[in-house]
């Protein structure tokens, strides 16, 4: 799904993806404070494990991405978190590939990062729990659809015969987007009640 | 937050039985003059109603079609043994996998060499009981498909099993991945504290 294997993408797409991913990882690593490192590691481990639980849907099988949640809690540090988990998935399980690492990192991390940057501040300042749940569900669902779009785009740009068919994409990504929306809303709702602090980016105060 | 995430992570790890995985694979086997097989997600069911395409070494399309409800495909290569054949399955949403069938697995010229050898063996043992052996000895052309079918029947489950084991995910891999991430976090904290 979001793990594009080796040997399919063309060189410009691979290099472009790697460059964006490298930029994101560098910025993300710089933003990491002492408080943010364990948080990034735990979310990275959650993402690493979540992709092992896959559910058959139609012709494919899907798994949670958690990119919306990571975007809300990590900000730009979502890039190193996703990158590390993808390296380990490629090395240990053979998901995706090492050459496509950059593209896959961007495909998963970028939608979560952008959406969380746009909507995240509203969630943090909102006092209505329904509002928070709704907005974080929106981030979760849209980041999955964004990932689907980016995967389709990177395949279409490099190998036209592998271009995903829109109807198949929708059939597999729509149920996933709904599941992702529920999970993101549930986790954000829980954290905002138990530890609202966890939703704010841990980068500001301690960043060097 | 940490405790909640740890619990969530632990429950995820519990659910992630080694059978669950997320990768498309194509299994291919030679049945007589056919190539047959299926596309499957490791532990996650078959790829149903999915387009497949078979190409020879030069990239020319040999056959194509759609997998059935069991994810299987079956075709007869028009010119066996002329070249290796690659079967690619594309779920049309980003999952692409292919299987490779080497030319000498297809009943072609390269298969004939061992078969003449086996015929020699039959002839060498037959003088021990010439009266019985000679009339019952089937011709090579009859024997060939029979042997091939018998061997294929016996070997196919093994090939399937090997293919699955090859891509099997081990619990130790999951655990080591998680701890590698924790280790990286530790390295990061240590590096920051030295500054």
A42·B95 Cβ contact <8 A: no
DSSP-assigned letters across all residues of B36-63: EEEEEETTS-B-TT-EEEEEETTS-EEE
Confidence of residue B107 (pLDDT cuts 50, 70, 90): low
pLDDT of residue B128: 46
Integer Cα distance of A200 and B175 in angstroms: 29
DSSP-assigned letters across all residues of A19-86: HHHHHHHHHHHHH--TTHHHHHHHHHHHHHHHTT--EEETTEEE----HHHHHHHHGGGHHHHHHHHH
Cβ pair A125, A188 in contact under 8 A: no
Point out the residue among B4, B44, B174 whose CB comes nearest to the CB of A56.
Answer: B44
pLDDT of residue B2: 57
**Has residue B24 got a pLDDT over 60?**
yes
User: Considering the domain A11-195, what is its CATH architecture?
Assistant: Orthogonal Bundle (1.10)
Sequence-distant (≥ 6) Cβ neighbours of residue B112 within 8 angstroms? none
Please report the domains of chain B, with CATH numbers, ordered by start residue. Answer: 20-174 (2.60.40.10)
Contacts B20 to A, Cβ<8 Å: 52-54
Integer Cα distance of A61 and A76 in angstroms: 28
**Has residue B5 got a pLDDT over 70?**
no
Report, as an integer, the average pLDDT of A70-90. 91
**Has residue A203 got a pLDDT over 80?**
no
Contacts B193 to A, Cβ<8 Å: 34
Higher per-residue pLDDT: B166 or A193: A193
Q: Which helix (H) or strand (E) holds A107?
A: helix A101-125
Q: Which helix (H) or strand (E) holds B132?
A: helix B130-136
Sequence-distant (≥ 6) Cβ neighbours of residue B4 within 8 angstroms? A190, A191, A194
Sign of CA dihedral B104, B109, B110, B113: positive
**Has residue A162 got a pLDDT over 80?**
no
Answer whether B176 touches A (CB < 8 Å): yes
pLDDT of residue B110: 39
Report, as an integer, the average pLDDT of A171-180. 86
Integer Cα distance of A124 and B23 in angstroms: 37
Confidence of residue A78 (pLDDT cuts 50, 70, 90): very high
Give Cα A192 distance to the centre of its chain: 21
Angle of the A101-125 helix axis to the A67-74 helix axis, nearest 10: 60
% pLDDT > 90, chain A: 36
Among A105-114, B39-48, B94-103, B146-155, which stretch is predicted with the lowest mean pLDDT? Answer: B39-48
pLDDT of residue B44: 60
pLDDT of residue B79: 63
pLDDT of residue B124: 43
Give Cα A204 distance to the centre of its chain: 22
pLDDT digit string, tens, across residues B71-88: 788 888 776 556 788 888
pLDDT digit string, tens, across residues B126-151: 444 544 445 566 677 778 778 877 88
pLDDT of residue B54: 84
pLDDT of residue B114: 40
For chain B positions 103-132, those within 8 Å of chain A (CB to CB) are none
Sign of CA dihedral A75, A79, A84, A85: positive
Report, as an integer, the average pLDDT of B28-37. 79
* Most confident among A77-86, A127-136, A166-175, B54-63 (mean pLDDT): A77-86
Residue of A nearest to B68 (CA): A59
Where in chain A are the domains?
Answer: 11-195
Contacts B86 to A, Cβ<8 Å: none
Higher per-residue pLDDT: A176 or B124: A176
A88·B90 Cβ contact <8 A: no
pLDDT of residue A106: 94
């Amino acid at each position: 799904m979001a793990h594009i294997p080796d040997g399919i993408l063309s060189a410009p797409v691979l290099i472009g993806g790697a460059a964006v991913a490298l930029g994101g990882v560098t910025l993300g690593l710089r933003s990491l404070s002492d408080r943010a490192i364990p948080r990034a590691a735990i979310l990275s481990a959650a993402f690493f494990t979540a992709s092992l639980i896959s559910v058959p849907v139609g012709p494919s099988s899907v798994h949670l991405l958690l990119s919306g949640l990571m975007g809300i809690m990590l900000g730009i540090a979502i890039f190193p978190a996703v990158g590390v988990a993808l390296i380990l998935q490629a090395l240990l399980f053979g998901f995706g590939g090492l050459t496509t690492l950059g593209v896959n990192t961007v495909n998963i991390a970028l939608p979560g990062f952008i959406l969380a940057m746009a909507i995240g501040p509203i969630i943090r300042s909102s006092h209505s729990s329904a509002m928070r749940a709704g907005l974080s569900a929106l981030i979760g669902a849209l980041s999955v659809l964004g990932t689907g779009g980016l995967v389709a785009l990177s395949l279409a740009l490099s190998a036209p015969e592998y271009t995903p068919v829109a109807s198949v994409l929708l059939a597999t990504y729509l149920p996933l987007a709904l599941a992702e929306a529920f999970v993101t809303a549930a986790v954000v709702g829980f954290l905002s009640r138990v530890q609202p602090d966890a939703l704010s980016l841990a980068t500001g105060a301690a960043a060097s | 937050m940490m405790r909640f995430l740890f619990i969530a992570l632990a429950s995820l790890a519990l659910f992630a039985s080694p059978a669950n995985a997320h990768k498309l694979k194509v299994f291919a086997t030679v049945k007589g003059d056919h190539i047959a097989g299926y596309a499957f997600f490791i532990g996650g069911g078959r790829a149903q109603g999915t387009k497949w395409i078979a190409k020879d070494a030069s990239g020319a399309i040999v056959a194509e079609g759609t997998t059935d409800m069991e994810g299987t495909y079956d075709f007869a290569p028009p010119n066996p043994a002329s070249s290796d054949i690659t079967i690619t399955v594309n779920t049309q949403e980003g999952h692409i996998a292919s299987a490779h069938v080497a030319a000498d697995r297809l009943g072609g010229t390269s298969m004939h060499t061992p078969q003449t050898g086996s015929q020699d063996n039959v002839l060498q043992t037959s003088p021990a009981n010439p009266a019985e052996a000679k009339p019952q000895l089937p011709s090579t052309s009859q024997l060939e498909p029979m042997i091939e079918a018998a061997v294929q029947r016996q070997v196919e489950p093994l090939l399937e099993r090997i293919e699955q084991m090859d891509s099997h995910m081990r619990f130790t891999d999951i655990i080591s991945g998680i701890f590698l991430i924790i280790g990286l976090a530790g390295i990061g904290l240590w590096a920051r504290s030295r500054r």
